[in-house]
Amino acid sequence: MKDQRAPFRRAVLFLTTAACFFAVLLFFCESRAVTVPKTERSIAALTEKEALSEEDYRLLLEETGLGRETVDLLRSRPGGDAALLSEQKRFHQRPDFDCRPLTGVTMMETVLRSEDALVFYDLRPGDVLLTFSTHTLFYRHGHCAIVLDDETIAEAVAIGRPVAVTKAAKWGFYPTVLQLRLSEEAAADAGMTPAKAGAAAAERAETEFLGDRYSLFAGGFGRGEETDETQCAHLIAACYAGIGVTASSRTFPATPMSLLKSGAFDIVQCRGVGPELLRR
């Protein structure tokens, strides 16, 4: 006799399997939302040293989220040692944040309390701001922008929208954020200093890309070269490519991760990211 409940059982099995699959995807996506160090290593001895070694700078980056230039900047100021210790505590704390729709199925995570917002110590033209606090469904693709000056950035936000000038301070409300700066080696390959190259890239963003429309296909099929189209990572890669700097590990598609993997940038300041990005 045919089991009349077999189709029902198969449907239940299918729905249960699908639910488990999406639960795993959701857990994987959300588990990467913010990463904080599991243990806190002492940096007190480093605050008393006159000169720091490469190992010291590496430890401070992994404990405070501050790169070499920012560490040196703080150490040159009165109370800089206390500031380093304070940044270590901040770096080890997971901020409270929520997840809200950005456009359609794309979501954006935002820190809830203003006192938990990251304050950038030293923004310069050409610096890159990058976050992994945006995701579409279960794909944590991230977002990025290029700094124009110490208060403003140029960014391509969403499909169909034009590249616009916005405030840099809002990036402090992402629970994950990296501030990147062109390295001396990458700038030297183009015959410039990082400051000169950054200023040139920022000028290209402001004079050549403002108003260009966001397109996922920018950088491929002639899009973005023969048409006025771009997207967040392509914008940065194209600004630097125009001055002879390869800022993305691949031409298409350029992504926030491909910018990181290019090796062209140093970390200036960051939070909420794992050691695999700090040690790249």
Domains of the chain, by residue range, sit at 1-31, 46-91, 97-278
What gap in Å lies between CA 164 and CA 210, rounded to an integer? 6
pLDDT at 21 over 50: no
Among 63-67, 68-72, 92-96, 224-228, the range scoring the smallest mean pLDDT is 224-228
Q: Are 70 and 124 in contact, with CB atoms under 8 Å apart?
A: no
Architecture of domain 97-278: Alpha-Beta Complex (3.90)
pTM equals: 0.88
Please compute the mean of the pLDDT values over residues 136-164 and round it to a whole number. Answer: 93
Is the pLDDT at 27 greater than 50? The verdict is no
**pLDDT recorded at residue 15:** 46
261 contacts: CB under 8 Å, gap ≥ 6? 249, 280
Phi and psi angles of residue 167, each rounded to the nearest 5 degrees, phi first: -85, 135
Judged against a pLDDT cut of 70, whether residue 1 lies above it is answered with: no
Residues 6+ apart with CB under 8 A from 127: 146, 147, 179, 180, 181, 198, 268
CA distance 6 to 52: 70
Residue-wise over 33-56: b if at least 16 C-beta within 10 A, else e?
Answer: bbbbeeeeeebeebbeeeebeeeb
Q: Is the pLDDT of residue 185 over 60?
A: yes
| 149-187 b/e (C-beta count within 10 Å ≥ 16 → b) | eeebbbbbbeeeeebeeeebeebbbbbbbbbbbbbeebb
At 215 the pLDDT is 94
Q: What is the pLDDT of residue 29?
A: 43
User: By three-state DSSP, how is residue 123 classified?
Assistant: coil
Q: Is the pLDDT of residue 18 over 50?
A: no
For range 84-98, the mean pLDDT: 95
Whether the pLDDT of residue 24 is over 70: the answer is no
- The answer to whether residue 3 scores a pLDDT higher than 70 is no
Alpha carbons 108 and 133: distance in angstroms, whole number: 6
Query: Which helix (H) or strand (E) element contains residue 64?
Result: helix 54-64
Residue 280 banded pLDDT, cuts 50, 70, 90: low
